[in-house]
């Protein structure tokens, strides 16, 4: 399985970092794309150094010739985590101006899994409309809303409830869900 992970400028790079780590553990092939703001936020949140790995493929968000930009070369699934409302708006309106928005458009047109993980509160009416538009087009909306079932004792445990939910949404088995594998 090959999964494209995109990181945009919303806060919450920890979710992307945890997801990449878990996918590599599960022996999934990972392609990683950052927006310029996504990289800046990951640096600000002290997560960027944790993405320096040899076991994932890095793609330039400006390279519209990269494999995710084409239905004949796209991955099996794509996760945009965290996903800014600006990116959600561009995808919902069909405005592909970079590799991430084009890859998301390709996933939708090919009927392949696209999971967007917005990390924004509160939502305004425009946000909600755009999220509904993506949902109607076939995307799965998984807000970065952690659960407290496992009584997390630190940020890593708290965020892992979202990460493990994404793993399950990708159709992968997770034995690390705090509420078990029902």
Mean pLDDT, the chain, as a whole number? 94
- Facing residues of 115 across strands? 79, 140
User: In angstroms, rounded to a whole number, what is the distance separating the alpha carbons of residues 56 and 20?
Assistant: 8
pTM of the model: 0.94
- Strands 29-34 vs 114-118: parallel, antiparallel or unpaired: unpaired
C-alpha 146: how far from its chain's center?
A: 15
Cα gap 134→103, rounded to integer Å: 14
**What confidence tier does 149 reach under pLDDT thresholds 50, 70, 90?**
confident
pLDDT digits 0-9 by tens, 73-114 = 999 999 999 999 999 999 999 999 999 999 999 999 999 999
**154/14 Cα distance (integer angstroms):** 13
Q: Which residues contact residue 133 at a Cβ distance below 8 angstroms, ignoring those fewer than 6 apart?
A: 92, 93
Model pLDDT for residues 9-18, shown as the tens digit of each residue: 999 999 999 9
Residue 110 is predicted with a pLDDT of 97
What distance, in Å, lies between the first and last C-alpha atoms of the chain? 23
Q: And the tokens for 53?
A: 């790995």
Q: Which of 59, 44, 61, 47 is closest to 13 using CA atoms?
A: 47
pLDDT in tens, 57-67: 999 999 999 99
Going by pLDDT thresholds of 50, 70 and 90, the confidence category of residue 178 is low
Answer whether residue 176 shows pLDDT above 80.
no
Provide the sign of the torsion angle of the four alpha carbons 5, 10, 15, 17, taken in this order.
positive
Closest Cα to residue 29, out of 68, 84, 70? 68
């Amino acid at each position: 399985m090959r999964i494209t992970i995109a990181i945009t400028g919303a806060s919450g790079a920890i979710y992307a970092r945890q997801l990449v780590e878990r996918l590599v553990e599960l022996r999934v092939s990972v392609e990683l794309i950052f927006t310029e703001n996504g990289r800046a936020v990951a640096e600000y949140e002290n997560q960027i150094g944790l993405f320096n790995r040899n076991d994932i493929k890095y793609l330039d968000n400006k390279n519209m010739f990269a494999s995710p930009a084409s239905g004949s070369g796209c991955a099996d699934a794509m996760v945009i985590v965290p996903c800014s409302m600006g990116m959600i708006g561009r995808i919902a309106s069909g405005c592909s101006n970079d590799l991430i928005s084009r890859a998301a458009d390709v996933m939708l047109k090919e009927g392949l899994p696209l999971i967007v993980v917005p990390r924004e509160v509160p939502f305004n009416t425009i946000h909600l409309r755009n999220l509904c538009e993506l949902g109607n087009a076939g995307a799965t909306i998984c807000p970065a809303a952690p659960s407290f079932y496992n009584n997390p004792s630190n940020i890593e445990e708290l965020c892992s409830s979202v990460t493990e939910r994404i793993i399950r949404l990708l159709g992968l088995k997770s034995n690390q869900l705090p509420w078990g594998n029902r």
